[in-house]
């Protein structure tokens, strides 16, 4: 961890720390923006009674920036209210807001302090078709993406409202696309423990703290390749701070069943290191996998440069034989409608060329090292 990251953690964590020297201020601001915690840092600076430029230099945000963030967040909150109401009206959908959009309203002092690119909602797998249709009626367009029972468990949608603001929505029916993570928590389990999210309306529900913590840890590890981004670690820090003894017990049990103990421990350990997060010692001991006879399949995501093919191999090991072939087939041969839209194919020959092109161009990407942090 570099000195700028350490200083940001100390500032945001309200520890006794002095502003940086003048030659380090611009670098500190760049670091804060890269980790998406500049809003949290500015708030901590104002609570201290310091001027922002004392920490971030002449390019520090002014109060007008914070007002703009708050106004934009209010617009997005109104949109979330509409989406939650629309989905809640679908029989059996049971929409649950989770990840950044939920935490912004439930765990941060003000929702605009938690930046986010989209809104994530998980619904019942049995209501996907009806939910997509309902969202289309309020103006959402479905982005071109691959689909299949195993290869994808979410749909990306966007809408531009009357203010000209674009709203991005990720509709999930599993918590992740990777099989070794997707099975850890089902929508039914999350819905059974969901809590009210009053800021988004009477129909809005959010994942409970124990489910949200597990999802946050798995998302950081598997989807973002063990990223050290401070915003995600701060989410984990806030969630851990509200966990009861019973919550910790159930989270450890879920991690054990889902074979993701190492991923959960890694995220918690990073939060402890960055923000001095309080996690009971017995929880960390229970999540220790060093003495386990077999390595958890999900542990592949402990490597920041894990390749896509490594994730695929982990998923194949997690599936029964019949589904392994199906997963590979879904990756290689997505639905014809996807090929038509993605490659503008309008004849049998152009369709065949589209499939060949997809495989030829995509294969190197699966074997290339990745580092999303």
pLDDT in tens, 219-239: 998 888 888 999 999 999 999
Rounded Cα distance, 96 and 207, in Å: 6
Q: Where in the chain is the domain with CATH 3.30.460?
A: 79-207
E strand spans, 81-238: 96-98, 119-122, 141-142, 154-160, 166-172, 195-196, 205-206
Pick from 172, 122, 182, 148: nearest CA to 318 = 182
Percentage of the chain with pLDDT > 70?
98
CATH class of 79-207: alpha beta
pLDDT in tens, 68-125: 999 999 999 999 999 999 999 999 999 999 999 999 999 999 999 999 999 999 999 9
Residue 267 DSSP one-character state? H
pLDDT band at 370 (very low <50, low <70, confident <90, very high): low
CA of residue 314 relative to chain centroid, distance: 20
H or E segment at 319?
Answer: none
List residues bridging with 166 in a β-sheet: 160
């Amino acid at each position: 961890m570099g000195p700028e990251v350490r200083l940001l953690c100390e500032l945001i964590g309200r520890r006794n720390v002095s502003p940086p020297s003048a030659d380090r201020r611009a670098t500190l601001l760049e670091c804060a923006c890269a980790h998406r915690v500049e809003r949290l840092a500015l708030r901590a600076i104002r609570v201290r009674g310091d001027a922002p430029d004392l920490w971030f230099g002449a390019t520090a945000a002014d109060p007008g920036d914070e007002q703009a963030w708050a106004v934009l967040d209010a617009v997005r909150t109104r949109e979330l209210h509409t989406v939650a109401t629309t989905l809640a009206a679908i029989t059996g959908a049971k929409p649950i807001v989770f990840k950044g959009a939920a935490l912004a309203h439930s765990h941060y002092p003000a929702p605009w302090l938690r930046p986010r690119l989209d809104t994530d909602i998980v619904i019942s797998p049995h209501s996907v078709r009806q939910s997509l249709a309902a969202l289309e009626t309020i103006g959402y367009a479905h982005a071109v993406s691959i689909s299949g029972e195993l290869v994808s468990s979410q749909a990306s949608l966007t809408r531009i409202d009357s203010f000209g603001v674009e709203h991005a929505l990720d509709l999930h029916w599993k918590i992740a696309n990777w099989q070794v993570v997707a099975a850890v928590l089902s929508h039914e389990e999350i819905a059974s423990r969901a809590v009210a999210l009053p800021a988004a309306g009477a129909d809005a529900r959010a994942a409970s703290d124990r489910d949200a913590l597990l999802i946050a840890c798995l998302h950081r590890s598997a989807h973002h390749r063990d990223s050290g981004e401070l915003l995600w670690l701060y989410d984990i820090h806030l969630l851990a701070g509200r966990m009861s003894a019973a919550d910790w017990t159930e989270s450890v049990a879920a991690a054990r069943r889902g074979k993701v103990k190492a991923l959960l421990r890694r995220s918690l350990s990073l939060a402890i290191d960055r923000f001095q997060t309080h996690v009971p010692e017995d929880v960390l001991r229970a999540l220790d996998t060093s003495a386990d006879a077999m390595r958890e399949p999900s542990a592949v995501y402990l490597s920041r440069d894990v390749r896509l093919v490594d994730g695929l191999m982990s998923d194949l090991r997690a599936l029964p034989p019949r589904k392994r072939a199906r997963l590979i087939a879904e990756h290689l041969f997505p639905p014809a409608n996807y090929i038509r839209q993605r490659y503008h194919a309008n004849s049998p020959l152009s369709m065949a060329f589209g499939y060949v092109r997809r495989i030829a161009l995509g294969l190197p990407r699966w074997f290339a090292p990745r580092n999303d942090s």
